[in-house]
């Protein structure tokens, strides 16, 4: 049985010690499926759900059993790793920086100033994910949560034309939703889950940008903790989606270009370390010499901190000018 099937069949109340009231409490806190419970530590679960630690431990273990997250033999492990697809960015420099491309079962974040290329990469990935595997795609569709109204069908046309793809088809394979506020943005992740459950072969989810609404809505200093917590929950929901359905998540995060306007390290994304913690791959984009873009890998668990150069052309992302 695949992860998907288990998720459809079992729910929180199937776990020992978790009744409807406790389940509702957990759902309210953003822990709404078995995977979320399976990866928790029992002490946290005990606090959040207001149950004893012994009960929490039993529930976590049961969730792990149901999802078969206990030890698995190495062939199973290999199979999961082999399922990971690396989607090409169109620039082999950038692919190399990312260890091959934007990975499924993980989250890739680009942060940087306005105009640094974050949304351009989003457009390119939405096109490239549709390519066959041997061309660096996943033969699949994408879902795009647009928070700032920066999705451009014309840009998709330029990129799909350059790859010799049928523009109408390419556009049909991108589900776009404009998120009107942060609550709506969070809700849209659930809608993507519904699309997948209805059989849509989605292998890429884009959130451009992840932070804008949260930043606009939670402005006071006293609201910072609340803002972080909500972003954190949203990110965890996205990561769970990536793991349950072998999907690549690409998120963008805008930071100010003028270091004098920022407190502290200008290369730190707003969203702070919580966002850094959740991301599998985190890149910092900036403008370089002669219209180039510089991407720097930061905070990756398995890749070195390094930099590369790429260009944004009419045909899309490229190594050359
Ligand atoms: P952000 O990081 O703010 O999301 P974008 O990804 O939208 O920035 O990048 C915008 C930049 O991309 C523009 O300033 C321009 O340099 C480049 N760009 C956008 N469209 C094209 C195009 N059709 N041809 C060449 N370059 C383009
Ligand atoms: Mg943008």
Which residue among 89, 91, 110, 115 is best mutated to probe the pocket of ligand 1, counting the most ligand atoms within 8 A of its Cβ? 115
Closest ligand to the CA of 312:
1
Of 273 and 18, the structure prediction assigns the larger pLDDT to 18
Going by C-beta distance under 8 Å and a sequence separation of 6 or more, which residues neighbour residue 37?
Answer: 12, 15, 26, 31, 45, 59, 60, 63
Residue indicated by tokens 């288990």: 6
Residue 302: CB atoms within 10 A of its CB come to 7
- Expressed in angstroms and rounded, the spacing between residue 119 Cα and the centre of ligand 2 is 4
d(CA 148, CA 114): 12
Closest ligand to the CA of 285:
1
pLDDT digits (tens, 9 = 90+) for 36-75: 888 888 998 998 899 999 999 999 999 988 887 666 677 7
pLDDT score of 178: 97
Residue indicated by tokens 């903790």: 225
For 165, phi then psi, to 5°, come to: -95, 160
Residue with CA at minimum distance from ligand 1 atom 24: 314
Confidence band for 171, pLDDT divided at 50, 70 and 90:
very high
**305 pLDDT above the threshold of 90:** no
Which residue among 94, 113, 120, 162 is best mutated to probe the pocket of ligand 1, counting the most ligand atoms within 8 A of its Cβ? 120
- Expressed in angstroms and rounded, the spacing between residue 52 Cα and the centre of ligand 2 is 46
Helix (H) or strand (E) holding 183: helix 182-197
Cα distances from 300 to residues 7, 277, 306, in angstroms, run 29, 10, 10
Of 226 and 95, the structure prediction assigns the larger pLDDT to 95
- Nearest-atom index, ligand 1, CA of 313: 25
- Expressed in angstroms and rounded, the spacing between residue 147 Cα and the centre of ligand 2 is 10
- Nearest-atom index, ligand 1, CA of 291: 16
d(CA 250, CA 238): 10
Going by C-beta distance under 8 Å and a sequence separation of 6 or more, which residues neighbour residue 126?
Answer: 142, 144, 156, 174, 204, 206
Confidence band for 312, pLDDT divided at 50, 70 and 90:
very high
Binding pocket residue ranges, ligand 1, CB within 6 Å: 112, 114-120, 158, 312-314
Q: Look over the chain and give the mean of its residue pLDDT values, rounded to a whole number.
A: 87
Pairing of strands 281-287, 248-254: unpaired
CB contact burial 78-87 (16+ within 10 A = b; e otherwise):
eeeeeeebbb
What is the pLDDT averaged over residues 239-268?
A: 73
- Nearest-atom index, ligand 1, CA of 122: 6
- Expressed in angstroms and rounded, the spacing between residue 246 Cα and the centre of ligand 2 is 25
Going by C-beta distance under 8 Å and a sequence separation of 6 or more, which residues neighbour residue 217?
Answer: 181, 182, 227
What is the pLDDT averaged over residues 70-86?
A: 78
The three-class DSSP label of residue 227 is: helix
Which residues fall inside 5 Å of ion ligand 2, going by CB?
118-119, 150
Phi-psi sector, 230: left (phi>0), alpha (psi -120 to 50), beta? alpha
- Nearest-atom index, ligand 1, CA of 115: 8
Of 276 and 49, the structure prediction assigns the larger pLDDT to 49
What is the pLDDT averaged over residues 225-242?
A: 88
d(CA 12, CA 26): 9
Q: Are 298 and 284 in contact (CB under 8 A)?
A: yes
- Nearest-atom index, ligand 1, CA of 110: 2
d(CA 239, CA 279): 9
Q: What is the pTM of this model?
A: 0.79
Closest ligand to the CA of 124:
1
Q: What is the DSSP string of 33-77?
A: SHHHHHTS-HHHHHHHHT--HHHHHHHHHHHHHHTT-S---HHHH
**DSSP state for residue 29 in the 8-state scheme:** T
- Expressed in angstroms and rounded, the spacing between residue 236 Cα and the centre of ligand 1 is 29
Residue with CA at minimum distance from ligand 1 atom 12: 117
């Amino acid at each position: 049985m695949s992860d998907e099937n288990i998720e459809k069949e079992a729910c929180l109340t199937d776990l020992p010690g978790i009744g409807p009231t406790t389940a509702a409490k957990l759902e309210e806190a953003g822990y709404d499926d078995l995977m979320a419970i399976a990866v928790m530590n029992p002490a946290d679960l005990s606090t959040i759900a207001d149950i004893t630690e012994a009960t929490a431990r039993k529930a976590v273990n049961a969730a792990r059993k149901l999802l078969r997250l206990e030890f698995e033999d190495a062939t199973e492990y290999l199979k999961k790793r082999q399922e990971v697809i690396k989607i090409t960015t169109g620039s082999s420099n950038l692919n190399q920086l990312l260890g091959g491309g934007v990975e499924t079962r993980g989250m890739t974040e680009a942060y940087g100033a306005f105009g640094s290329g974050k949304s351009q990469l989003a457009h390119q990935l939405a096109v490239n994910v549709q390519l066959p595997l041997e061309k660096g795609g996943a033969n699949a569709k994408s879902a795009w949560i647009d928070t700032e109204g920066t999705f451009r069908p014309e840009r998709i046309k330029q990129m799909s034309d350059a790859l010799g793809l049928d523009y109408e088809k390419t556009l049909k394979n991108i589900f776009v939703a404009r998120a009107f506020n942060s609550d709506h943005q969070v809700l849209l992740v659930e809608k993507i889950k519904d699309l997948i459950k209805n059989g849509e072969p989605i292998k890429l989810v884009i959130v451009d940008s992840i932070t804008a609404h949260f930043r606009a809505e939670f402005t006071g200093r006293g609201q910072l903790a609340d803002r972080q917590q909500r972003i954190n929950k949203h990110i965890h929901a996205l990561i769970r989606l990536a793991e349950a359905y072998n999907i690549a998540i690409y998120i963008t995060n805008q930071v100010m270009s003028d270091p004098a306007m920022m407190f502290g390290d200008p290369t730190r994304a707003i969203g702070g370390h919580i966002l850094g913690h959740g991301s599998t791959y985190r890149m910092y984009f900036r403008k370089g010499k002669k219209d180039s873009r510089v991407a720097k890998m930061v905070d990756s668990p398995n890749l070195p901190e390094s930099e590369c150069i790429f260009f944004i052309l009419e045909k899309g992302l490229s190594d050359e000018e």
